[in-house]
């Protein structure tokens, strides 16, 4: 049954703060509206006059909704969003009186003093100019402040003075155009002549932790780096699997309700929410949208999660691995291709033509992932995700595809020249007569695969929880555009479809793996199949600039050589800087909090020992405790000095962070954790893992 959302609690306000097309239509005259549609749907350049009319309509609407400021809202390569708010206020030159004004020029182009944003050498500091340009495919929206007032946010792309992209959005938009072009070429050969546009769709499931804010404020490591740099595991963790899907604490439900309300008003369609496996970990999933919108909306989701948590005296942790030994957080990027006539190209069609279409696009994705696995791995490489990937909780670093046995068998049959057989779902019985009969899904789930087919879409599970989904989708769109272009080239040259597809599948079937990706034997098997293993972040980042990948991005007009080098440079720089900040944070905490606390506890033990000696009673326990503590303190001090020495002596590049610093940091962490295990809890200066993970229940 379907019904509309009108009058349904929680939906009254959905999209109220988004300047949607129908609102625009109401405010614009026909001519301007049609001219805008020509830009939106047909890709025509936006006329100045139309831009003026749209700007006036936008301001009018924003002011009606209580927003008196506007900003170009963009995604610089910091991984978060940027904005610079301006008032609509201007001074009338003639009368000198204040007026409200928003011109087409101000809508289309903003100038950001971009020298403080990462540019990867594309721009020197003295060349400060950066531009933001309106992305009319992502609607403007109002972001509310705590007092209810608002700011009109205009999604924009951000580029340097010479037009080079300096953000996550521009390459994404270009990659969407690339895949549209190539998908249409293939569809024409399949006889799908009515499709005019193919759009990649994305649903990004977001994992996160919520902890009590008071505990957060006492952990400088969480504050400065997003993760705990010290801490012993609690006596109870996630072993009992009693948290997954369990009833959510009321405090957290209140947070979720407010989040859904605020996001809903900004047009982010929230769909599911639940407890995750680790204590204090949760997941949020929206309804899928066009890739561009989904990336913007995921960014908004993260921002709102942080803000709203704060209002509930909670802190939202988006880091990929906030707690060692406890499951980390990722962002599952569900991805498919949607035609403007409603066909999902990765959904097995019901008739022969639909099934052939599905197999064509499926095989294109398989080929793309096999051919460009390192590029995909690169798109998720960050210092935070490094701690998560490869653990037995997150996808391993070897990329493979899960199809499920049924689908793999079908591909096999197809390649041996059998007729296409439309697969019938199997009936399944639960053994209780009062329960409805179910049909078994063709594929079971495989949680261990980094890239899994889930019935009508692929789920790319490598992305980190804090990163923008821009780059993973840019890469995904581009590599699939490439394999579609190869298929289209062969079809153009008159090769028969079946032949092209079988050849493509045979060349790339090594990437398909339906087994347990956590199994040790898989690594061996992957090696035998010659699948690439990029086992560290720095190498993964450097994959981007390899000639094969650069040529790919340049060929499809997604990124220029300079843009790729700049992105690589920024990613390496971020890795090195984040590593340095983590090391400095450790040093501060060890020297200023941990060691002094241990000295105090040592003094307590010493005086107990002296008293016992004086009283001539047995005092071996005090002696042993004190000896052990003093020894561990001395080890901790040595590890601290060594880490400090390393920071002083070496020029910190991404490579030195990876090869030298990380090892010293681990040594210091081990020393501090040992001290935690033997120190009086009442003097220990940091909230423990147990306190942080089990206080919101």
Task: Please choose, out of 149-157, 195-203, 512-520, 684-692, the segment that lies near ligand ADP by the rule CB under 6 A.
Answer: 195-203
Q: How far is the CB of 319 from ligand ADP (least distance, A)?
A: 21
Segment 313-372, which members bind Mg ion (CB under 5 A)?
Answer: 332
Q: Which of 132, 275 has the CB closer to ligand ADP?
A: 275
- In the complex, minimum distance from the CB of residue 176 to ligand ADP, in angstroms, rounded to a whole number: 14
* CA diameter of the chain: 100
Q: Tell me the number of residues near ligand ADP by CB under 6 A.
A: 17
Answer for which of 83, 167, 205, 582 binds ligand ADP (CB under 6 A) is 205
| Residues 448 and 397: beta-carbon distance below 8 Å | no
Minimum distance from residue 329 beta carbon to ligand ADP (Å):
14
The H-or-E segment that residue 677 falls in is helix 662-678
Q: Which residues contact 438 (CB under 8 A, 6 or more apart)?
A: 427, 428, 430
CB nearer ligand ADP, residue 456 or residue 604 = 456
Q: Which does 335 bind (CB under 5 to 8 A by kind): ligand ADP, Mg ion, none?
A: ligand ADP
Sequence-distant (6+) residues with CB within 8 A of 4 are: none
Mask of contacts with ligand ADP, 142-181, x by CB under 6 A?
A: ----------------------------------------
The answer to whether 382 and 432 have CB atoms below 8 angstroms apart is no
Least Å distance between CB 399 and Mg ion? 17
Name the token pair of 599.
């000295």
Is the CB of 123 or the CB of 461 nearer to Mg ion? 461
Q: Count Cβ atoms below 10 Å from residue 272 Cβ, excluding itself.
A: 10
Nearest distance in Å: CB 287, ligand ADP? 5
Q: Which is nearer to ligand ADP, 120 or 404 (CB)?
A: 404
How far is Cα 518 from Cα 389, in angstroms, rounded to an integer?
Answer: 11
Q: Applying CB under 6 A, which of residues 91, 272, 341, 524 lies at the interface with ligand ADP?
A: 272
Closest-approach residue to ligand ADP (CB): 203
Kindly compute the dihedral angle of the four CA atoms of residues 161, 167, 170, 172, in this order, to the nearest 10 degrees. Answer: 160
* Distance of closest approach, residue 337 Cβ to ligand ADP, in angstroms: 8
Pair of tokens at residue 690:
């147990």
456 makes contact, choosing from Mg ion, ligand ADP, none, with CB < 5 to 8 Å by partner type, with ligand ADP
Which listed residue (144, 319, 387, 457) binds ligand ADP by CB under 6 A? 457
Least separation in angstroms between residue 459's CB and Mg ion is: 5
Cβ of residue 648: shortest distance to ligand ADP, in angstroms? 47
Shortest approach of Mg ion to residue 423 CB, angstroms?
23
Site string for ligand ADP, 276-315 (x = CB under 6 A): ---------xxxx---------------------------
CA separation for the pair 169, 295 (Å, rounded): 8
362-381 as b/e: b if 16+ CB within 10 A: bbbbbbbbbbbbbbbbbbbb
Q: What are the angstrom distances between the C-alpha of 53 and each of 34, 58, 70, 91, 107?
A: 12, 9, 16, 20, 10
298 binds, among Mg ion, ligand ADP, none (CB under 5 to 8 A by kind): none
* DSSP per-residue letters across 604-649: HHHHHHHHHHHTT---HHHHHHHHHHHHHHHHHHHHHHHHHHHHHH
Contacted by 255, from Mg ion, ligand ADP, none: CB < 5 to 8 Å by type: none
Q: State the Cα angle at 334 between 391 and 524, rounded to 5°.
A: 35
Min CB(686)–ligand ADP separation in Å:
33
By CB under 5 A, the residues from 196 to 225 that bind Mg ion are: 205
Shortest distance (Å) from residue 459 CB to ligand ADP: 6
- Report if residue 201 touches ligand ADP, rule: CB under 6 A: yes
User: Whole-number minimum distance, CB 377 to ligand ADP, in Å?
Assistant: 21
Q: Which is nearer to ligand ADP, 264 or 374 (CB)?
A: 264
Number of shown-chain residues binding Mg ion (CB under 5 A): 2
Work out whether 202 is an interface residue with ligand ADP (CB under 6 A).
Answer: yes
- Select the binding partner of residue 548 from ligand ADP, Mg ion, none (C-beta < 5 to 8 A, by kind): none
CB of 268 to ligand ADP, least distance (A): 11
Residue 143's φ and ψ, nearest 5 degrees, are -100, 125
Using CA atoms, how far apart are residues 303 and 268, in angstroms rounded to an integer? 13
Q: What is the rounded distance in angstroms from the CA atom of residue 486 to the CA atom of residue 501?
A: 11
Plot region of 183 (φ>0 → left; ψ -120 to 50 → alpha; else → beta): alpha
| Min separation Cβ 517 and Mg ion, Å | 15
Per DSSP, the chain holds a count of helices (H) and strands (E) of: 24, 20
Residue 344's binding partner out of ligand ADP, Mg ion, none, with CB under 5 to 8 Å set by partner kind? ligand ADP
Rg (CA), the chain: 28
* Positions in 304-363 near ligand ADP (CB under 6 A): 334-336, 344
- Specify the stretch interacting with ligand ADP by CB under 6 A; choose among 197-205, 219-227, 613-621, 645-653: 197-205
- Residue 575's binding partner, choosing from Mg ion, ligand ADP, none, with beta-carbon cut-off 5 to 8 A by kind? none
| Count of other CB atoms within 10 angstroms of residue 129 | 13
The two tokens of residue 100 are 């409200």
Cβ nearer to ligand ADP, comparing 285 with 373 = 285
Residue 267 lies near ligand ADP (rule: CB under 6 A): no
What is d(CA 635, CA 519) in angstroms, rounded to the nearest whole number?
Answer: 36
Binding partner of residue 272 among Mg ion, ligand ADP, none, CB under 5 to 8 Å per kind?
ligand ADP
Residue written as token pair 């929230």: 270
CB of 206 to ligand ADP, least distance (A): 9
CB count in 10 Å sphere of residue 236: 12
Determine how many CB atoms are found less than 10 A away from the CB of residue 386.
Answer: 22
143 versus 332: smaller Cβ distance to Mg ion: 332
CB 295 within 8 A of CB 168: yes
Binding to ligand ADP (CB under 6 A) within 609-628 occurs at none
Measured CA to CA, the distance from residue 692 to residue 216 in angstroms comes to: 8
Rounded CA separation 543/527 (Å): 19
Q: Which two tokens stand for residue 115?
A: 């020298």
Q: Which stretch binds ligand ADP (CB under 6 A): 13-21, 136-144, 452-460, 645-653?
A: 452-460
- b/e for 61-81, b at 16 or more Cβ within 10 A? bbeeeebbbbbbbbbbbebeb
With contact defined as beta carbons under 8 Å apart, do 36 and 52 qualify?
Answer: no
In this chain, which stretch among 58-66, 213-221, 361-369, 456-464 interacts with ligand ADP, using CB under 6 A? 456-464
Q: How many CA atoms lie within 13 A of 453 on its CB side?
A: 29
The option from ligand ADP, Mg ion, none interacting with 286 (CB < 5 to 8 A, set by class) reads ligand ADP
376 binds, among Mg ion, ligand ADP, none (CB under 5 to 8 A by kind): none
- Report, in Å, the least distance between residue 342 CB and ligand ADP: 11
Per DSSP (E only), the strands in 161-227 are 198-212
Q: Which residues bind ligand ADP (CB under 6 A)?
A: 201-203, 205, 271-272, 285-288, 334-336, 344, 456-457, 459
Q: Which residues bind Mg ion (CB under 5 A)?
A: 205, 332
């Amino acid at each position: 049954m379907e019904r509309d959302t009108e009058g349904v609690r929680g939906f009254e306000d959905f999209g109220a703060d988004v300047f949607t097309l129908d609102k625009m239509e109401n405010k614009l005259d026909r001519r301007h509206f049609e001219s805008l549609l020509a830009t939106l749907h047909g890709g025509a350049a936006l006329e100045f006059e139309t831009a003026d009319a749209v700007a006036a309509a936008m301001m009018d609407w924003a002011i009606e909704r209580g927003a008196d400021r506007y900003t170009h809202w963009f995604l610089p390569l910091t991984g978060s969003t940027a904005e610079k708010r301006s008032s609509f206020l201007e001074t009338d030159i003639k009368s000198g009186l204040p007026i409200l004004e928003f011109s087409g020029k101000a809508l289309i182009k903003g100038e950001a003093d971009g020298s403080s944003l990462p540019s990867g050498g594309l721009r020197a500091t003295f060349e400060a100019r950066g531009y933001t340009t309106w992305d009319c495919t992502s609607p403007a929206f109002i972001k509310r402040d705590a007092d209810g007032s608002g700011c009109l946010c205009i999604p924009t792309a951000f580029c340097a003075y010479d037009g080079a992209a300096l953000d996550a959005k521009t390459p994404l938009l270009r990659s969407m155009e690339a895949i549209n072009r190539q998908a249409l070429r293939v569809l024409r050969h399949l006889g799908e002549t009515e499709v005019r546009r193919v759009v990649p769709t994305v649903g990004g499931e977001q994992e996160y932790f919520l902890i009590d804010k008071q505990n957060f404020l006492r952990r400088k490591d969480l504050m400065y780096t997003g993760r705990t740099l010290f801490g012993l595991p609690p006596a109870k963790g996630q072993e009992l699997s009693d948290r997954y899907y369990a009833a959510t604490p009321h405090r957290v439900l209140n947070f979720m309700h407010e989040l859904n309300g605020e996001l809903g008003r900004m047009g982010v369609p929230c769909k599911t929410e639940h407890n995750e496996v680790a204590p204090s970990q949760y997941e949020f999933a929206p309804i899928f949208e066009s890739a561009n919108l989904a990336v913007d909306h995921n960014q908004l989701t993260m921002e709102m999660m942080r803000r709203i948590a704060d209002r509930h005296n909670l802190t939202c942790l988006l880091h990929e691995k906030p707690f060692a030994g406890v499951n980390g957080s990722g962002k599952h990027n569900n991805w498919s291709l949607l035609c403007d006539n409603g066909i999902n190209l990765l959904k097995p069609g019901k008739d022969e033509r639909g099934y052939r279409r599905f197999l064509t696009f499926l095989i294109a994705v398989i080929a793309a992932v096999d051919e460009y696995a390192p590029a995909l791995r690169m798109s998720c490489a960050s210092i935070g995700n490094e701690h998560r990937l490869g653990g037995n909780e997150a996808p391993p670093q070897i990329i493979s595809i899960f199809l499920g046995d049924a689908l793999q068998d079908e591909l096999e049959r197809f390649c041996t020249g059998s007729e296409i057989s439309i697969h019938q779902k199997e009936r399944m019985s639960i053994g209780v007569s009062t329960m409805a009969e179910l049909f078994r899904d063709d594929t079971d789930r495989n949680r261990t695969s980094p890239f899994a087919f889930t019935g009508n879409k692929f789920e790319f599970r490598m992305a980190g929880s804090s990163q923008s989904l821009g780059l993973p989708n840019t890469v995904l769109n581009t590599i699939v555009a490439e394999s579609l272009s190869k298929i289209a080239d062969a079809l153009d040259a008159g090769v028969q479809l079946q032949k092209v597809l079988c050849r493509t599948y045979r060349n790339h079937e090594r990437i398909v793996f339906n087994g347990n990706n956590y199994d040790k034997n898989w690594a061996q098997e992957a090696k035998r199949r010659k699948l690439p293993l990029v086992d560290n972040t720095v190498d993964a980042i450097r994959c981007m600039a390899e000639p094969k990948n650069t040529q790919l991005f340049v060929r499809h007009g997604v990124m220029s050589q300079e843009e790729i080098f700049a992105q690589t440079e920024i990613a390496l720089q971020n890795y090195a800087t984040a590593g340095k900040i983590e090391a400095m944070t450790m040093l501060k905490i060890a020297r200023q909090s941990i060691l002094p606390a241990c000295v105090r506890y040592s003094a307590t033990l010493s005086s107990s020992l002296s008293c016992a000696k004086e009283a001539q009673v047995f005092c071996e326990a005090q002696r042993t405790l004190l000896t052990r503590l003093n020894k561990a303190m001395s080890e901790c001090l040595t590890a601290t000095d060594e880490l400090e020495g390393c920071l002083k002596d070496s020029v910190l590049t991404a490579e030195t962070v990876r090869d030298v610093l990380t090892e010293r940091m681990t040594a210091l962490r081990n020393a501090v954790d040992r001290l935690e295990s033997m120190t009086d809890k009442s003097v220990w200066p940091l909230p423990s893992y147990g306190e942080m993970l089990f206080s919101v229940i």
